[in-house]
Structure 1
Amino acid sequence: MSEHLAAVAETTKLARLLGISDPTDLDFLVDLPPAAIRQFRERATDRLFDRDAKRLHTVAQAAKLVPVSISAKVAERAFGPVLCAAIAGAVEPTRAIDIAKTLPPAFLAAVAVQIDPRRTAAIIAAVPPALVEKVARELLAHGDHITMGRFVHVIPEPALRAAAPVMSDIDLLRIGFLLEDKTAIDNVLHIVADRVPGIIRAAAEQHMWAEGIDLLDSIAPHNRAWIGDTAAGLGGPVLDSLIAAVADLDAWATLLPITSAMSHDSLRLFAERPAVHAEPVLAAITDTALNAGHWLELLPLAAHLPPAQLAFVAARVAAETDDRLDHLIRQADTAGRWDAMIPVALAMTDSERRRLAALPVMGDPDVLRAIITSTAEHQLWSQALPLVHALPDTTTPTLAHCIGDLTPEQLLAAVRTAAQSDTIDTLVDIALAQEPHGRARVLELIDTMDDIEDFLTALTAHTPDAVWNAFARVRDEIPPRLRTQLAERARELDHPHHATALQPATATAQ
C-alpha cells in the first residue's frame, strides 16, 4: 500500500478508537509513517485495556462460578458491551463461546466494536460460522467496516465463507482497505474468487479506486496475473478509470507489478489504451520504474507500446548515465528479459543505440549469447539486428559463435529477416566469421532457400565492400550455384571486381 493510503486507513481506525466520528479530523496525521500511527493506536488500546486489568481478571474468574445463562444475562444487562469487551480476553475461550451463543447478535456486534483482537484471537477463532454470519450482518447494517477489517485475519476460513455472502462488493472493498493484517487479503480473494470482477467493477463505478489500488498493492505475487487479466477483461472504460486513478494517486509502483504479470493479450489491451499514451502518464510510469525499483516491471509494458510512446520511454531510459544504463541492462539480462529490452533499445536513436552498444556490459560474452538466444526464441531478428549492427567489431567472434548454436530454423529466420531489411551486411559479416563448419552450414542454408531471390535482392549498391570481400575470402566454401548467383548479382550492381573475385569470367564461359 502507498504510504498515504496506509496512513488514511490507520487514521480511520484511530478515529474509531478515540471516538471521533469524522476520520478526516485526523488528516493532520496522514503525513506520518503509517507504522507510527498504528503503534500509537495499539499503545492507546493497551492503556485502555490494562488500566483495570486486575479487577477485570477478578470479574472474569467470577464468571466461572455461575451458570452460562446467568453469566450471559449479567453480561448483557449489567456489564454492557464495553465492559464485556474488556473482560473477554481474561475469560477461558470455551466458556466465552458458550456465553456468546446465548447472547443476541446485536449485542455481540456491539461487543465486537470494542474488543481487541490481539487479546481475544483464540475466542474469535472458535466462534461458530453461523454466529459469525449473524454478527457480520449486524455490523454491516451499521456500515461498520472497521470492525470487520480488524477481525478478518483471525477468523477461520469456514466462518469467512459463511459471512462472505452478507458482504456486497463495495463492503469487500472497504473491509479490504481497513484490514488489520494485509496478508489476509489473499485468503479473502480465494474465498470470493467468483466476485472479483464485480469488486473491480465496483471500484470503477463507485470511484473507489483508492481502496481497490490498496488491494492490488497487498495481494501476493501469484495472484497478480489473475487479478490483472480480470481487470483487462472488463474492457477499456474500466482500464481507463484505473489508469486515471493510479495517475491521480501516483500509484504506479503498485500497478506496474500487476501489469508485468498480465498475460500477453491482457498487457497488449492495457498498453493500447490512449490513457497510457499521454506524456505525463508515460513520464510518471518510466520515472517510477527507474527510480523506485520497478525497471524489470516496466519492460513488458514498454514492449507493447506503440512506436511513438516506446520511443518516448526509450529516450528517458537513454538519458540515464552510462553506469546506470549498464546496471539496468545487467538487471534485464539477469532476469532474462532481452525479449522486452531489445524493442526498447531499437526505439532509441542511432546515437543512443551506439552509446548503449559501447557499454561494458554489451561486450560480455554471456550477455551477447543471451541476446542472440532470446532473439531466436522470440523471433526478434528485425529488432535485434540493428542493435547488433551497432556493437563494436570486437564482439563479432562471440556473436559468430552464438550464431553457430542456432537451429537451422532459427538461422533461416535470421537470414530471411536480414534479407528483407537493411541489415543483411550485419548478419553476413557475423555468419562468415564462424569457424569453417559454421560457415558451411550458413552458406548451404542460403543456397537451398526457396526464396533466395530475396536474399540476393537484399545485396544492393549500398552494401558495404566488407560484405563482398567476406564472400570472396570464403569463395571456395560457397556452393557452386550460390557462388554463381552472387557473382551475377555483383555484376548487376556494377561491381565487376567483386564478381571476378567470386567467380572469374573464364569460369562462366566454360
Structure 2
Amino acid sequence: MDTLSNRAEAQKIAQLLDVLPEQLDFLHGLPAEDVRQLRARTVDALYDDVPDMLDRIAAATKLVPAGVAAAISQKALGPRLAASVAGRLEPARAADIIEKLPVAFTAESCGHLAPRRIAAVVDRLDEDLVVRIAVALAERGDHLTMGRFVGHLREGALRRILQLIDDGVVLRVGFFIDMPERLDAILDLMGEERLASVVAAAGDGLWPEALAVAGLAGPERRARMAALAARQDPARLDGLVRTAHEQGLWEALLPLVALLSEEDRRAVAALPSLRDAEVLDGVVRAVVATGLWAEFLPLVGVLPPESRKAVADAAGELPDAELDAMVLDVEKRDLWDAVLPLVELMDEPAKERVFALPAFQEQERQG
C-alpha cells in the first residue's frame, strides 16, 4: 500500500506546485508518510505566507455586492487568483460569491483553493451547486481535486453525485481521497450492486486505483472488495496479478488475497500469470522485502504443483541473509506448518542451506 500512497501523495504535490508528476519521480523511493509530511509543509509554505495584495483584494470584495465581486473574479482575476482570494475571505462571503459564478469557472478554481479552507466554504454552498461542481470536475478529469473535496461533502450530495459519475471516476477519486476515514461511508452509499460494478471497472486499466481504495477501506469493505475482484472474469483478474508484478504492488495485493475464502483464493491461484516463473520469482522477492509471509503462504498452499515448485526454487535461491530473515519471520508468526512443505519442494542444496541457517538451528533447539 505504501507504493500507492506514495504515488498519490507525489501527484498531489505536483498539483500544488503546478508541475508535471514526472518531475517528482525522485519522491517514489521515499516512505509514503514522509511524502505526506512534505505535502503538508508545501501547503504551509504556499498558503500561510501570502502576499499582502491578496488581503487587499479580499478586503475590496467586501465593499461590492457578491455578483459584482463574481464578475471581477472572472474578468480580472482568473481561476487561480480568484481561488487565492477566496481563501482570504470569510467562508460565508466566499460562498456567496461562488454561487454567482459559472460552474465551469468554479470547477477550474477549485484546485487552487487553500486546502484548509475547503470544509468551511463547502459547508455553506447550496447542495445543488455542489453536485453541479462535482460533475464539472469529473468532466474535466480533475479527480485529484475531487479527492480533496469529497471527504467534506454531506451524505445527500454524495448520494446524488455517485448517481451522476461513472465507475472509473469513483476509483480515480478514491485513489486521491484526502479523508480516507470517510471512505467506508461513501462505499456504503453505493450499495452492493454499484460496488460490484465499480470493482469490475478496475479491469479497464484501473487496478492500482482499486487496490488503493480497498487498502484504505475498513476491514469489512476491504474483504468485500477483495471477494468481488476475485470473482471477475479470469482474463481481467489475471490483469490484476500482471499489474501487481509490473508495478511492484504485491504489498497492496497480497493482504487482500489473504482475506479471500479458499474457493476465491483457488480462483486466483489458477490464473495463468501465477504459472509464470518470472512473476513467482518477483512475488517471492517482494514478500522477503515486505515480510508478508503470513499473507502469501495461504495462496502458495493452493497454487498448482508446478507453481509451488517455482516458489520453492525462488525461495531456495535467496541469499543466506534473506533466507535467515524469512526463517525468523516464520518462527515469529508460527508459520512452520505452511513453510515446511515448501522447503520439502526445494532441491537438496537449498534444503541444506535452510537447515543450516542460524535461525533454523535455533528453532530446532527450541523445538
Give the TM-score category using the shorter length: 0.7 to 0.9
- Secondary structure at 1:238's aligned position in 2? helix
Residue of structure 1 equivalent to 2:332:
331
**Aligned counterpart in structure 1 of residue 88 of structure 2, from 79, 87, 90:** 90
Q: Deviations over 1:394-416 (max 9, x none)?
A: xxxxxxxxxxxxxxxxxxxxxxx
Aligned equivalent of 1:212, options 210, 213, 219: 210
1:317 CA drift (Å): 4.7
Q: Tell me, yes or no, if the aligned pair for 1:72 and 1:103 is still in contact at 8 Å.
A: yes
Per the TM alignment, residue 68 of structure 1 is displaced from its structure 2 partner at its CA by: 4.5
SS at match of 1:261: coil
Q: Distance in 2 between matches of 1:182 and 1:123?
A: 20
Rounded to whole Å, the distance in 1 between the matches of 2:51 and 2:79 is 17
2:239 is aligned to 241
Who wins on radius of gyration, i.e. which is larger?
1
For residue 26 of structure 1, what is the aligned residue in structure 2?
23
Alpha carbons of 1:125 and 1:340: their partners in 2 closer, same or farther (altered >3 Å)?
farther
Q: Shift of the alpha carbon at 1:93?
A: 2.5
Distance, in Å, in 2 between the alignment partners of 1:32 and 1:344 is: 32
Which amino acid counterpart does residue 202 of structure 1 have in structure 2?
A
Does residue 276 (structure 1) correspond to residue 274 (structure 2)? The answer is yes
Amino acid at match of 2:157: A
Query: What's the CA shift string for 1:435-477, capped at 9, x where partnerless?
Result: xxxxxxxxxxxxxxxxxxxxxxxxxxxxxxxxxxxxxxxxxxx
Alignment check: 8 A CA contact 2:214 2:221 kept: no
Indicate the residue corresponding to 1:226 in structure 2: 224
SS of 2:111 mapped into structure 1: helix
Residues 28, 133 of structure 1: alpha-carbon distance in 2 compared, 3 angstrom cutoff: same
Of the structure 1 ranges 312-321 and 238-247, higher mean CA displacement relative to structure 2 is found in: 312-321
Q: CA-to-partner distance for each residue in 1:319-353, whole Å, 9 max, x for gaps?
A: 667854652332332xxx56644644664679949
Deviation at 1:278, TM superposition (A): 1.7
Distance 1:202 1:318, change over 3 A: same
User: Which consecutive unaligned segments of at least 5 residues does structure 2 have?
Assistant: none
Measure the CA separation in 2 of the matches of 1:329 and 1:48.
47
Counterpart AA for 1:227? M
1:24-423 map, 5 Å? 26=23, 29=26, 31=28, 33=30, 46=44, 48-50=46-48, 52-61=50-59, 63-64=61-62, 67-76=65-74, 79-182=77-180, 184-193=182-191, 194-205=193-204, 207-317=205-315, 324=325, 326-333=327-334, 340-341=338-339, 343-344=341-342, 347=345, 352=351, 355=355, 359-361=361-363, 364=366
Q: Which amino acid letter does the alignment assign opposite residue 292 of structure 2?
A: H
Q: Which amino acid aligns with 1:104?
A: P
Q: Give the partner amino acid of 1:92.
A: E
Residues 317 and 325 in structure 1, CA contact (< 8 A), matched pair in contact too: no
Determine which structure has greater relative contact order: mean sequence separation of CA pairs < 8 Å that are 6+ residues apart, divided by chain length. Answer: 2
Please give the alpha-carbon distance, in whole angstroms, between the structure 1 residues aligned to 2:16 and 2:134.
Answer: 19
Contact 1:307/1:347 (CA < 8 Å) preserved in 2? no
The 2-side partners of 1:37 and 1:327 are apart by 31
CA 1:188–1:347: 2 relative to 1, 3 Å: farther
CA contact (8 A) 1:318 1:325 kept: no
Amino acid at match of 2:307: Q
* Aligned partners of 2:118 and 2:149 also within 8 Å: no
Render the CA deviation track for 1:84-116: whole Å, top value 9, x for unaligned.
Answer: 311223323233334433433223223213212
User: Are the aligned partners of 1:253 and 1:288 in contact in 2 as well (CA < 8 Å)?
Assistant: yes
Distance change in 2, residues 1:360/1:214 (3 Å): same
| Residues 69, 301 of structure 1: alpha-carbon distance in 2 compared, 3 angstrom cutoff | same
1:367-387 Cα offsets, whole Å, 9 max, x none, are xxxxxxxxxxxxxxxxxxxxx
TM-score of the superposition, structure 1-length normalised? 0.60
SS of 1:204's partner is: coil
For the Cα contact (< 8 Å) 1:232–1:269, is it kept in 2? yes
CA 1:315/1:155 → structure 2, altered by over 3 Å: closer, same or farther?
Answer: same
Change (3 A) 1:349 1:41: closer
1:478-497 alpha-carbon deviations (Å, 9 max, x no partner)? xxxxxxxxxxxxxxxxxxxx
Alpha-carbon distance, 1:147 to partner: 1.8
In 1, are the aligned partners of 2:293 and 2:330 still within 8 Å (CA)? no
Q: Provide the C-alpha distance between the structure 1 equivalents of 2:364 and 2:155, rounded to a whole number of angstroms.
A: 52
- What is the CA–CA distance in structure 1 between the aligned matches of 2:343 and 2:180, rounded to whole Å? 39
**Alpha carbons of structure 1 residues 285 and 307: separation in structure 2 relative to 1, 3 Å:** same
SS in 2 for 1:242: helix
The CA deviation at 1:294 is 0.4
In the alignment, the residues of structure 2 paired with residue 303 and residue 80 of structure 1 have an alpha-carbon distance, to the nearest angstrom, of 60
SS at 1:114 equivalent: coil
1:346–1:18 distance in 2 versus 1, CA, 3 Å: closer
Specify the code of the residue in structure 2 equivalent to 1:327: L
User: What SS class does the counterpart of residue 89 from structure 2 fall into?
Assistant: coil
Cα distance between partner residues in 2 of 1:323 and 1:14: 39
AA matched with 2:197: G
The offset of 1:267, in angstroms, is: 0.5
RMSD: 3.7
Q: Distance in 2 between matches of 1:346 and 1:129?
A: 63
| CA–CA separation in structure 2 for the residues paired with 1:28 and 1:256 | 25
Whole-angstrom CA distance in 2 between matches of 1:112 and 1:305: 49
Aligned residues of 1:271 and 1:301 also touching (Cα < 8 A): yes
Cα deviation for residue 10 of structure 1 reads 4.6
CA separation in 2, counterparts of 1:250 and 1:41?
A: 23
